[in-house]
Amino acid sequence: MESNAAVLTGEHFITGNEACAEGALAAGCRFFAGYPITPSTEVAEHLSKRLPQVGGTFIQMEDELASMNAILGASWAGMKTMTATSGPGFSLMMENLGLGVMLETPCVLVNIQRGGPSTGLPTLVGQGDMMQARWGSHGPYEIIALSPSSPQEIFDFTIKAFNLSEQFRVPTLVMSDEVVGHMTEKVTVPAPEDIKLTYRKTPKVPPEEYLPYEADEDLVPAMALAGQGYGMHVTGLTHDRKGYPVISEEAQIELVERLVYKIRKNRDKIIEYREEECEGADVIVCAYGISARTCLLPIGMAREEGIKVGLLKLIVVWPFPEEHIDQLAEGVKGFVVPEINYGQISLEVERCAHGKAKVIHVPHAGGGIHDPTKVLEAIRRAAK
Amino acid sequence: MIERHPMDQLLREDRIPHIWCSGCGLGTSLTAFISAIQASGVPLDKISVVSGIGCTGRVAGYVKLDSFHTTHGRAIPFAVGLHLANPSLKVVVFSGDGDLIAIGGNHFIHSARRNLDLTIICVNNFNYGMTGGQGGPTTPIGAKTTTTPYGNFEFPFNIPHLAAASGATYVARWTALDARRLKKSIQEAFLKRGFSVVEIISPCPTLFGRFNRQGTGLDILNSYRENTVIQHGADPAKVAIEPDGKIIVGKFVDIERPTFLDLVNEGLKGKVEVSYEKPQPEEVTVPSADE
Amino acid sequence: MDEPSTAEKSRFWRKPLDADELQIPKGKVHIIKERCKGCGFCVEYCPRDVLEISEEFNSKGYHYPFTANPDACVSCGLCDLLCPEFAIYSELIEPEEVEKGGK
């Protein structure tokens, strides 16, 4: 694949990590700052080779904190930026993920999840960072996170993540996992003209009239870049529309409400899922990431037993499709949520079902994918 | 009639007077910085200032340039991102001793090692001022701070030594009193290609100075007058600030080394098909520093 | 040729040949009183002893300086640089307004 083209149109047989890197390039990413961590290292390694070929910049920083900040800085200079990590590095990036949210900086953070907690299982799968993706940084905020289940999806969803990030000026997460990252499958890369890309809103007024945090109807402000002569000041402190820090309740309410509703108000443009045979189903399996594939076998077996099972595959995990779960809960007997953790997204499903349907969580500590018989048993229990 | 100061064009006058205490050296450091960049001739649009958290970190909020007030210790990696994404920007990191050397220490040494083309201005007031005067990596032995009530038990960092040993190509130290030489030094550091570090010894009369009976800001400046020794070219390893000793100031290191981007451009030649010549900062002639 | 002044007599062991053309600049000090925080740097370090702390104070209670010897100012600019508050600066008075001979 020696080429200086950013978009390698055609069919490839590549790993998820490589597909993620190619997806970033196809999305227009030209800056990557990262730190090696299994099982995400291949994303960095692949980009270290490819970014110079397309005129981009790769730098391996001294740690994950530096990586997160470098991608924020590079975004403020106008580039589309990305970093990739796994559990321990994800934790390190949290404070500065908050800075990205507060400064409203577009960037993409890929987490190829592994067994945790702590150093855990560096080379084996986990899905235990899903709540951390939502709540990992301190303070009230909203975030966008996608969860791919295959190399093709990680390619597509990385492009989606860049687009959402630019559109809503918020750091966007790609919550993948080690199995998807390391599996090799066919990935079809479209022609560049078939890939729709978004770039952040640029200011329409001259510098004297520009307010860095004056938002439009969609609650997203236009973003000036360093070096364009706007002389703006941006800070992680609570600030007013000029960007100046203001330590007051009023400023906090005005700012933080907008940051939260920027995502909430635009949920219909962000939330995405795929449904299979959910119409009239008695049981719906709600899954994401690799678990959305490993549950296909038990679903098939359950259908053979006569149980009407549907699959709700989450593409965008955060913001969570609350209204949809609530709606589905009206008609089903139960939800089954297999995930490689001890109950994270299942808590959301339970919350949003509002007691109208039972929610059965199928846990897994990590290190492997679900045993199909356990998921099948859960489906049977849900159908009762 | 609103009275304006000649430097107001580079200040966010709607935020002046600033929050720093009476007698604090930060105002003087900022003044030296502003006059240095005015004299440098670099177009103001191309200058970005990145700061961290702390009293010094508030500098970003007062300069009328693209300025970024980031998280504690992480000003340097943010600046690295800005610089690499747009090498035509001149990026200055303006932060304090605790921010740059304690929590940000890792980023400081690695960016110096890589010789990234950044200018670092480190204001050293020997404590963590913003949070009330705690001990920090530069607090002298035996000094009193709120977290060293029995006197500091730790050896402090010698910042010029740390910078030089990590690979910085310009290292200087001045006190806030020596404003003219400080301004000239900042100008040199700013225009020089490579990782430049200027340490500014600054009074903190409200906290460190008070806890250690140093008197007012003026008394501290007077003590600089008594105790400062200029030694250009001194060995950075030997300029540690001893308690009750002389403060050695001057330009310690001014060498040439290829920058990170020089090495990248050189190394990629012939290996990638895409021409990898990123825009270099425009050549600026250094005007005579004695106006 | 004029008689060398006392100052010149003490500073030079002989009179410089260009003493006639020598013009010591003159400056005017401007003080932005509301910005001053009374640190005293300018008063202490003015090389010409132009300034002294005033009895008056601004709305924050700080005593700002005043020009006790305004004619001594040579617009060296040290107060501009040293002042932490951007509260004082000197303005160079054009040479045409200054007497020749360095008075």
A277 and A190 within one domain = no
Quick: pLDDT tens for B116-158.
Answer: 999 999 999 999 999 999 999 999 999 999 999 999 999 999 9
The pLDDT value given to residue A168: 97
Amino acid in position C36: C
Domain assignment present for A88? yes
Quick: pLDDT tens for A314-326.
Answer: 999 999 999 999 9
pLDDT at B233 over 80: yes
The pLDDT value given to residue C20: 74
A317 and A186 within one domain = no
3-state secondary structure of B184: helix
Q: How would DSSP label each residue in A181-243?
A: HH-EEEEEE--GGGS---------S-GGG--TT-B-TTS-B----TTSS---EEESS-B-TTS
pLDDT at A333 over 50: yes
The pLDDT value given to residue C99: 52
pLDDT at C2 over 80: no
The pLDDT value given to residue A1: 38
Residues of B in contact with C87 (CB under 8 A): 5, 17
pLDDT at B217 over 50: yes
A19 and A151 within one domain = yes
Confidence grade of residue C94 (pLDDT, cut at 50, 70, 90): confident
pLDDT at B288 over 60: no
Nearest CA in chain C to B181: C81
Quick: pLDDT tens for C16-57.
Answer: 777 777 788 899 999 999 999 999 999 999 999 999 999 999
Domain assignment present for A257? no
Query: CB contact, 8 Å: B65 with chain A?
Result: yes
Mutate which of A60, A62, A101 to test chain B, going by most B C-beta atoms within 10 A? A62
Nearest CA in chain B to A52: B272
C-alpha to C-alpha distance for A351 and A334, rounded to whole angstroms: 13
Q: Tell me, what CATH number does A56's domain have? A: 3.40.50.970
The pLDDT value given to residue C14: 80
Mark yes or no for CB contact A61/B85 under 8 Å.
Answer: no
What are the backbone dihedrals phi and psi of residue C9, each rounded to the nearest 5 degrees, phi first? Answer: -60, -40
The last residue of one of the domains, among A140, A169, A194, is: A194
The last residue of one of the domains, among A159, A174, A194, is: A194
Domain assignment present for B278? no
A146 and A19 within one domain = yes
| Average pLDDT value over all residues in chain A | 96
Domain assignment present for B110? yes
User: What are the E-state strand segments in chain A?
Assistant: 10-15, 29-34, 57-60, 80-85, 107-115, 121-125, 144-146, 171-177, 184-189, 233-235, 273-276, 283-287, 309-314, 316-318, 334-338, 358-362
* Mean predicted confidence (pLDDT) in B237-266: 93
Domain assignment present for A245? no
How far off is chain A from B260, nearest CA to CA, in Å? 10
What are the helix (H) ranges across B212-287? 217-227, 260-268
* pTM of the entire predicted model: 0.92
Quick: pLDDT tens for A94-107.
Answer: 999 999 999 999 99
Domain assignment present for B274? no
Confidence grade of residue A194 (pLDDT, cut at 50, 70, 90): very high
Nearest CA in chain A to B42: A227
The last residue of one of the domains, among A145, A172, A194, is: A194
CB nearest A52 (choices: B89, B107, B268): B268
The pLDDT value given to residue B150: 95
Q: Tell me, what CATH number does A335's domain have? A: 3.40.50.920
The pLDDT value given to residue A128: 96
Domain assignment present for B75? yes
Domain that holds residue A331: 272-383
Residues of B in contact with C44 (CB under 8 A): 218, 221-222
pLDDT at B1 over 50: no
A155 and A281 within one domain = no
Domain that holds residue B106: 6-268
Domain assignment present for A216? no
C-alpha to C-alpha distance for A221 and A212, rounded to whole angstroms: 7
Domains of chain C: 25-97 (3.30.70.20)
Classify burial at B60, counting beta carbons within 10 Å of its beta carbon; exposed 0-12, middle 13-18, buried 19 or more. buried
Query: CB contact, 8 Å: B71 with chain A?
Result: yes
Mark yes or no for CB contact B50/A73 under 8 Å.
Answer: yes
Quick: pLDDT tens for A65-95.
Answer: 999 999 999 999 999 999 999 999 999 999 9
A149 and A292 within one domain = no
> Residues B48, B90: contact at Cβ < 8 Å?
yes
Domain assignment present for A354? yes
ipTM higher than 0.90?
A: yes
Quick: pLDDT tens for B18-74.
Answer: 999 999 999 999 999 999 999 999 999 999 999 999 999 999 999 999 999 999 999
Domain assignment present for B1? no
The pLDDT value given to residue A3: 54
pLDDT at A361 over 70: yes
Domain assignment present for A177? yes
Q: What is the domain count for chain A? A: 2
Q: What is the domain count for chain B? A: 1
Confidence grade of residue B283 (pLDDT, cut at 50, 70, 90): very low
pLDDT at B284 over 50: no
C-alpha to C-alpha distance for C35 and C12, rounded to whole angstroms: 41
Quick: pLDDT tens for A144-190.
Answer: 999 999 999 999 999 999 999 999 999 999 999 999 999 999 999 99
The pLDDT value given to residue C21: 77
Confidence grade of residue B174 (pLDDT, cut at 50, 70, 90): very high
More confident call, C103 vs A15 = A15
CB nearest C86 (choices: B7, B22, B216): B7
Confidence grade of residue A5 (pLDDT, cut at 50, 70, 90): confident
pLDDT at B82 over 50: yes
C-alpha to C-alpha distance for A18 and A43, rounded to whole angstroms: 6
pLDDT at B290 over 90: no
Structure tokens at C14: 């002989």
The pLDDT value given to residue B80: 97
CB nearest B5 (choices: C32, C40, C82): C32
Contact between chain B and chain A (3 or more Cβ pairs less than 8 Å apart): yes
Interface size between A and B, measured as CB pairs under 8 A? 150
CB nearest B16 (choices: C39, C40, C86): C86
Domain assignment present for A243? no
How far off is chain B from C89, nearest CA to CA, in Å? 7
A139 and A39 within one domain = yes
How far off is chain C from B256, nearest CA to CA, in Å? 30
Q: Tell me, what CATH number does B196's domain have? A: 3.40.50.970
